[in-house]
Amino acid sequence: MYAKVWESCSASVCCLSFYNGHGVLIDTLSGFKIKKSLVTCEQVFYVKDAQKVEIRFVESDGNTPKATVRLDYRELVDDLRIGIANNHADYAVFNIDFVEFEDIPSLTLCERWSYPYGMQVAMLGFNGSHQNLSIKSGMISSAFSSKQGVRYLQIDGLTSYGNSGAPVIDPQTMQVIAIVSRRNNTVAKSYQDLLGYIHTNLEELRKIEGRFMLDDIDPIQVLIASQNQIKLLVNNIYKHTASSITQAVMLDHIVTYFNELAILMQPNIMSDINDVAEVRANND
C-alpha cells in the first residue's frame, strides 16, 4: 500500500530550504505541487533571518535533485504568494509557474468533509537533518478545531523537523486530505519558553560584560558562552526529536483556491441549493 503511495505521489513533494545572509541553512519545510502552485504550511512566512529559499523536487530515490529553483526569500513571500499571509488557517500557497517545474506532476486535493477515526494515512515529507524525502505511516486518531474555527486531524504517527507542510495522503485514492502543521504541543511550548529564558539571560549578561575580571578572564563572557552552548544543544535536541502526535490542518479553506465547486460539497450548502432549486421549480 505505502509503496504505491510513494510511486504515485513522491515526485510531487518538495523541500523548501531557507538560508541566511551567510548561506547557512536555518530552516526547512516540506511542500507539494497542486497544478501550478506550491502548497505548504503557514510557517513559511515567519522564517527569521531568511534571505534565500531553495525549492527542490527529487527523483524516486528521495535524494537526487530533479528540479530546483532558488529565490530571494522576499520574492517568495511578497510576490509569489496567493492570498493573505496571516490567514489563521495554517497553510500557504505560492505561484510556481516556472519552466523548471513544468514536468513535475500535480497532486489532487480531496473534497471530503470528514474522515473516520482509525483510517490509515501516509505522510510524505523531507527530514530536516539530511533533507531526504521519506514516507511515514499514520492513523487518524482524533480531530479538533482551533479558536479560529480551523479544523485539524490528529494523527498517530511519527513526524520530525522538516516535515511541516507535508501532504497527508489517503492511500486508497492517492489524494491529499490534510497538511502537516508545525509542531504545536507541550514539547514545542517548552522549547519556545526555554529559548525565551536563554534570550533574556543573554541580554542581562551583555549589560554587565567587561565590568569584572578574574586573572584576565571575564567571567561574564564565560557565562555568555555557556548560554550559547545551551541554546545550540536545545535547538539540536528539538530538531532531531520526532513527535508521535502529528497535527494536520484540513483542507476546508484551501481547496477553494483550486476548485470553487468544492464548496458545494458541504452538506449545509448543498441543502440550501436544493431548497432554492425546489422553490424555483415550483415558481415555474
How far is residue 100's CA from residue 141's CA, in Å, rounded to a whole number? 39
Indicate whether 284 belongs to any domain: no
Average predicted confidence (pLDDT) for the chain: 84
| Listed range (21-30, 97-106, 184-193) with the worst mean pLDDT | 184-193
Pick from 76, 59, 62: which is nearest to 17 by CA?
76
| Listed range (11-25, 140-154, 225-239) with the worst mean pLDDT | 225-239
| Listed range (96-100, 112-116, 193-197) with the worst mean pLDDT | 193-197
Q: Which residues pair with 55 in a beta bridge?
A: 16, 69
The pLDDT value recorded for residue 277 is 42
221 versus 89: the higher-pLDDT residue is 221
Indicate whether 280 belongs to any domain: no
148 versus 180: the higher-pLDDT residue is 180
Is residue 97 domain-shared with residue 26, that is, in the same domain?
yes
pTM (2 d.p.): 0.77
Is residue 73 domain-shared with residue 38, that is, in the same domain?
yes
Is residue 255 domain-shared with residue 164, that is, in the same domain?
yes
Q: How many domains does the chain have?
A: 2
Q: pLDDT, tens digit, for every residue of 104-138?
A: 999 999 988 889 999 999 999 998 767 899 999 99
